[in-house]
């Protein structure tokens, strides 16, 4: 929103002071310090109690030995220091799950971005009717709850009754049996439900590019690919950064799809990703402290991603 | 981007339009198959020769879904939780967004960064401590255990997105209201609030969807009192990995998807412009 009107603090409205005038009135200073916090109070209470405090607890639990016995109060909790982390890092399964998560999330992000951007460009090439059809279909996919999307895609690829195997002539090939084909199936569902966000956002961004710029490029004989690479992509950079980071954050945290489609992590945990792994450790094996340690690792990784995002925003000179 | 039409050569445009239509069909196909599966008679669903149409649609699967014990209750619970979260988070986010856009104060930037960072917190990882928080509050097995965390998780994004909408309301309006003697509260609720309402609607989509879709909290916090459960749990009743009742699953999925679709279509325009605003801002 590039509103030319510079917003001014509420407190200033009552006593119009020319901008740049020294701020001396004690009354206004007091207003200024109390006012915003009053407005922020409900948000801060909720976020403090249900986000910050649980994060603190998550860190705390990860430092203790905490299993079913401690939850029910049968045994006292014992401080472990970094023991849980040491156990975690010594576990080859953790590293396997971590690398699977990174590769899977990267594949999801790349596919989502490629499909989303390609379709956004396609949207600008067609007349109203096909555009409307594609938009509506995409909105439908976007609106579908992750859990129903997962069950529907499973049904589509069902070895016995699904239409996909029939069309491809695969017989009763099971997609969820092999590690890679199971991941691939989940990837398809994830891309299906997350490309619309990219498509709609990038499309809105392309529409905002002045047409003279594109005409000039076309007149100069630039090819479509060249126009995209040298004109559109740089102008869309801020939007591309936003959708990339959002996709990274979402895809790194994929839970429902893996949990439902591979039935809680696949055969012998072959399709586990960090999020599901943490949940299984905590709630299926009652290893609450190990689950919490995995949660902390995830938090740190996502925090790093967010910091990169903030740096990029800053470099673009965005005023917060 | 309205390229001069003549420059896009005709056969290319036709090819583009044809592929757009094909892709639209592919993207919409899973939804079509879901609705189709919900209406197919049992014999046709469990058939090794699936056909993309049905000549004898039936409501059997829906009857099974609605006949399931307390399905109405589950539906109602889901609605109560989603509506409560949407309203509460919209109001709280509105106040917070006003604070961070209309005031300059120390820590403003820090707070904004914290809201941004809060967005990336993996909800699922916090299930463990939240379980203990809810247990200590004595709220396990109540709808509060679903409402409260969802308010917290939808707030950061809602505040971040609303910021742009609040910013767009000219300050001159505020000054005029003050000169006319309106109190701060009156300005806030009778002038600013209606002006920001479209943005609130767009923001609500996200809190509505994440709340409506959630099954992890429902699974983890509603452990013994099934009457407090929500729709996704009802769906999973039909979905047994070894022998899923596909007709029931598709019917329940359809029932669960329709409210979101309706909501989406209603706010579609606002959503797109809202996203554009949030992104460009």
> Per-residue confidence at A180, pLDDT binned at 50, 70, 90?
very high
State pLDDT tens for residues A257-276: 999 899 888 888 889 999 99
Residue A42 and residue B96: Cβ atoms within 8 Å? yes
Measure in Å the smallest separation between the Cα of A206 and chain B Cα atoms.
6
pLDDT value for B34 = 93
Measure in Å the smallest separation between the Cα of A285 and chain B Cα atoms.
13
One domain, residues B208 and B271? yes
DSSP state of B281: -
Partner-chain residue, chosen from A37, A51, A263, that has the shortest CB–CB distance to B241: A263
Note the pTM of the prediction, 2 decimals. 0.84
CATH classification code of A83-315: 1.10.3720.10
- Cα–Cα distance, B80 to B69 (Å, whole number): 19
Domain total for chain B?
2
CATH of the domain at B158: 1.10.3720.10
Partner-chain residue, chosen from A2, A126, A278, that has the shortest CB–CB distance to B125: A278
- Which of A51, A222, A259 is the best substitution to test chain B (most B C-beta atoms within 10 A)? A51
One domain, residues B223 and B175? yes
8 Å CB contact between A196 and B264 = no
- Which of B121, B231, B243 is the best substitution to test chain A (most A C-beta atoms within 10 A)? B121
State pLDDT tens for residues A187-237: 999 999 999 989 988 888 888 888 888 888 888 888 878 888 888 888 888
One domain, residues B143 and B39? no
One domain, residues B153 and B194? yes
Domain extents in chain A: 83-315
8 Å CB contact between B214 and B146 = yes
> Per-residue confidence at A167, pLDDT binned at 50, 70, 90?
confident
- Which of A145, A194, A228, A246 is the best substitution to test chain B (most B C-beta atoms within 10 A)? A145
Evaluate if residue B152 carries a pLDDT over 90: yes
Beta bridge partners of A79: A64
- Cα–Cα distance, B39 to B16 (Å, whole number): 34
- Residue B167: list chain A partners with CB under 8 A: 1, 3, 7
> Does residue B64 belong to any structural domain of this protein?
no
Q: Among B22, B38, B58, give the residue marking a domain's end.
A: B58
State pLDDT tens for residues B135-147: 888 888 889 999 9
Q: Alpha carbon of A139 to those of A149, A198, B94, B231: distances in Å?
A: 13, 11, 26, 22
Task: Return the top range by mean pLDDT from A147-156, B241-250, B256-265.
Answer: A147-156
**Average pLDDT estimate for B241-253:** 84
Q: Please provide residue A63's backbone torsions phi and psi, each rounded to the nearest 5 degrees.
A: -95, -5
Beta bridge partners of A71: none
- Angle (nearest 5°) at CA A316 between B115 and A107: 70
Measure in Å the smallest separation between the Cα of A246 and chain B Cα atoms.
9
**Average pLDDT estimate for A293-311:** 90
One domain, residues B54 and B135? no
What percentage of chain B carries pLDDT values higher than 90?
A: 21
Closest to A148 (Cα-Cα) out of B235, B146, B259: B235
Tokens of B227: 């009457």
């Amino acid at each position: 929103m590039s509103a030319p009107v510079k917003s001014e603090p509420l407190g200033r409205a009552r006593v119009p002071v020319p901008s740049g005038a020294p701020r001396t009135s004690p009354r206004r200073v007091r207003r200024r310090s109390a006012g915003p916090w009053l407005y922020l109070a409900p948000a801060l209470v909720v976020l403090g109690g249900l986000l910050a405090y649980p994060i603190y607890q998550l860190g705390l639990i990860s430092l203790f030995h905490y299993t079913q016995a401690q939850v029910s109060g049968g045994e006292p909790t014992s401080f472990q220091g970094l023991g849980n982390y040491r156990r975690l890092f010594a576990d080859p399964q953790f590293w396997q799950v971590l690398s699977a998560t990174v590769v899977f999330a990267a594949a999801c992000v790349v596919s989502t971005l490629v499909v989303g951007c390609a379709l956004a460009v396609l949207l600008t090439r067609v007349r109203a009717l096909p555009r409307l059809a594609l938009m509506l279909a995409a909105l439908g996919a976007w609106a579908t709850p992750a859990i129903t999307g997962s069950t529907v895609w499973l049904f589509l690829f069902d070895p016995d009754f699904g239409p996909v195997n029939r069309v491809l002539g695969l017989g009763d090939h099971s997609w969820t049996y092999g590690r890679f084909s199971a991941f691939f199936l989940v990837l398809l569902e994830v891309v299906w439900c997350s490309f619309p966000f990219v498509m709609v956002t990038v499309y809105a961004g392309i529409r905002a590019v002045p047409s003279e710029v594109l005409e000039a490029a076309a007149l100069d004989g630039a090819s479509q690919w060249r126009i995209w690479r040298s004109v559109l992509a740089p102008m869309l950079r801020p939007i591309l950064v936003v959708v990339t980071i959002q996709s990274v954050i979402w895809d790194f945290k994929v839970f429902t799809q893996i949990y439902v489609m591979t039935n809680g992590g696949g055969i012998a945990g072959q399709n586990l990703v960090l999020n599901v792994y943490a949940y299984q450790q905590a709630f299926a094996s009652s290893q609450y402290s190990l689950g919490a340690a995995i949660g902390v690792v995830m938090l740190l990784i996502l925090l790093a991603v967010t910091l990169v995002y903030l740096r990029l925003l800053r470099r673009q000179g965005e005023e917060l | 981007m309205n390229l001069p039409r003549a420059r896009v050569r005709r056969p290319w445009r036709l090819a583009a339009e044809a592929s757009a239509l094909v892709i639209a069909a592919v993207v919409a196909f899973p939804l079509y198959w879901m609705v189709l599966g919900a209406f197919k008679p049992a014999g046709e669903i469990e058939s090794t020769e699936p056909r993309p149409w049905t000549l004898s649609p039936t409501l059997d699967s829906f009857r099974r879904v609605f006949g399931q014990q307390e399905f109405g209750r589950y539906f109602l619970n889901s609605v109560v939780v989603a509506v409560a979260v949407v309203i509460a988070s919209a109001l709280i986010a509105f106040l917070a967004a006003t604070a961070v856009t209309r005031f300059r104060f120390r820590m403003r930037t820090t707070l904004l960064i914290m809201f941004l960072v809060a967005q990336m917190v993996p909800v699922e990882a916090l299930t463990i401590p939240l379980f203990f928080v809810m247990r200590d509050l004595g709220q396990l097995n109540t709808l509060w255990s679903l409402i409260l965390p969802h308010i917290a998780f939808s707030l950061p994004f809602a505040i971040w997105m609303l910021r742009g909408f609040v910013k767009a309301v000219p300050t001159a309006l505020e000054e005029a209201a003050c000169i006319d003697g309106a109190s701060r509260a009156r300005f806030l609720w009778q002038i600013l609030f209606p002006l920001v309402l479209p943005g609130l609607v767009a923001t609500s989509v996200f809190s509505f969807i994440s709340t409506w879709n959630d099954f992890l909290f429902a699974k983890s916090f509603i452990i013994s009192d099934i009457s407090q459960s929500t729709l996704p749990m009802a769906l999973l009743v039909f979905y047994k990995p070894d022998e899923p009742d596909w007709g029931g699953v598709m019917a329940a999925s359809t029932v669960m998807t329709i409210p979101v679709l309706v909501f989406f279509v209603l706010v579609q325009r606002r959503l797109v412009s809202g996203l554009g605003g949030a992104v460009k801002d």
